[in-house]
Structure 1
């Protein structure tokens, strides 16, 4: 099975509680991908999770570092986290552009998946900001320079649009509660849609493969029904297997 680096899908929350005259503040690290990590590891994948706050300093800095992995997944982590390391933002020193590095790695034969969320693709208020970046160059979709979220609190059902090794045989997909509105590139393959918008899109980039899954891997866009789905882990395992070249 594949060796995978999943970057993002965590956040730090600060809460202030007011109790009459007094108040206190607490801080909590929250992980959004625990279910996915457990599912993928249970299916034999070797997955390393790089938490969002560690990405600026610890995401791979060289092609050799990236070559340790078969597949890189970016999930709910904006482009700033890859470009604004401490040395650049605090020190004002030139550094490696790791978005460009990731592009080079994919074009040389690596594999990249981006999953949707509030800090993916365009993102909330456009803050993910992958438009006009080296990552957009290799993704199978073009990214809007503005807020690209579509909230669907009523629930919408993903549909398979053509036979493919990723979604075939998994039956009806559970509803999701939102997605990113992206535009598939001409040479891409739209494997699934939701509300007539692309949901699962694949392509090649140089010698590598890329995949855009335009909704979240965890709540809130991934509904509780989706999280409890018997094929939850198998679906994402197949995405990884396709990226790694283990599925046609």
Structure 2
């Protein structure tokens, strides 16, 4: 079974309430990985989940820390979170470039999946900013400059456009999604699923490793309840991770 490291998929929200003369502030914390993790665990895969604030300091910074990992998943975690741990940002200390580490690891046989969200690929206002990093050299997509979100509140139905081990047994027409990133396939990448005029699920080989991109989210709001309740959702995530991990073990 695959050993998966998932980084991202968490947020904090601060709200200012105004009631006439008075205001007060509340805060909350949320995570969006439960459905993804549950899907993988049903097939026996092990998932180490590092929310954004944990990944900032604990995400692997050397090859030894990646030795037992089959697949790294980045989901809704901006490049700054991995490039600027506290020692770099606050104290001006040198530190390994963890995105370059991932590139080298993948080319030597590792496996990487990026899942969409407001801080994936380029993201809201371009703040995820992976286009300007080493990771852009191995992702199976070419990213836009700036904000690359495609909001589809009316719903957009993905469709399978290529037969592959990942899409095997899945209905060719999936439940509607409510958004995704606008990307282009990198030369040589295989587009498996499209949403509108854009690729939704892409895979590629990179050196001795494998890479994949799913350009919508792994939870709300881009994936509505109907998609999360669809049995094909769990099958797709498991098939995807297993295909990536198969290359790693090979």
Structure 2 equivalent of residue 216 of structure 1: 217
Alignment partners' CA distance in 2, 1:38 and 1:25: 33
Alignment partners' CA distance in 2, 1:145 and 1:68: 35
For residues 26-45 of structure 1, what are the alpha-carbon distances to aligned partners after superposition, in whole Å with 9 as ceiling and x for unaligned? 22110011121122112211
Q: Identify unmatched segments of 5+ residues in structure 2.
A: none
For residues 82-108 of structure 1, what are the alpha-carbon distances to aligned partners after superposition, in whole Å with 9 as ceiling and x for unaligned? 111111100011110001001111011
Structure 2 equivalent of residue 240 of structure 1: 241
**TM-score, with structure 1 as normaliser:** 0.96
Alignment partners' CA distance in 1, 2:227 and 2:46: 23
Q: Tell me, yes or no, if structure 1 residue 227 matches structure 2 residue 225.
A: no
RMSD over aligned CA atoms reads 1.6
Instruction: Say whether the 8 Å CA contact 2:111–2:247 is kept in structure 1.
Output: no
Q: Secondary structure at the match of 1:231?
A: helix
Alignment partners' CA distance in 2, 1:144 and 1:99: 19
Structure 1 equivalent of residue 57 of structure 2: 57
For residues 37-96 of structure 1, what are the alpha-carbon distances to aligned partners after superposition, in whole Å with 9 as ceiling and x for unaligned? 122112211001100111221101111101221000000001000111111100011110
Q: CA deviation at 1:18?
A: 3.4
Q: Secondary structure at the match of 1:199?
A: strand
Q: Secondary structure at the match of 2:103?
A: helix
Instruction: Say whether the 8 Å CA contact 2:10–2:30 is kept in structure 1.
Output: yes
Q: CA deviation at 1:23?
A: 3.5
Alignment partners' CA distance in 2, 1:153 and 1:168: 28
Q: Secondary structure at the match of 1:90?
A: helix
Q: Secondary structure at the match of 1:244?
A: helix
For residues 143-196 of structure 1, what are the alpha-carbon distances to aligned partners after superposition, in whole Å with 9 as ceiling and x for unaligned? 222111111111111111111111121113101011111111111111111102
Q: Identify unmatched segments of 5+ residues in structure 1.
A: none
| Runs of at least 4 residues off by over 6 Å | none
Alignment partners' CA distance in 2, 1:233 and 1:162: 19
**TM-score, with structure 2 as normaliser:** 0.95
Count residues with an aligned counterpart.
Answer: 248
Q: CA deviation at 1:246?
A: 6.9
Q: Secondary structure at the match of 1:217?
A: coil
Instruction: Say whether the 8 Å CA contact 2:210–2:247 is kept in structure 1.
Output: no
Q: CA deviation at 1:20?
A: 4.4
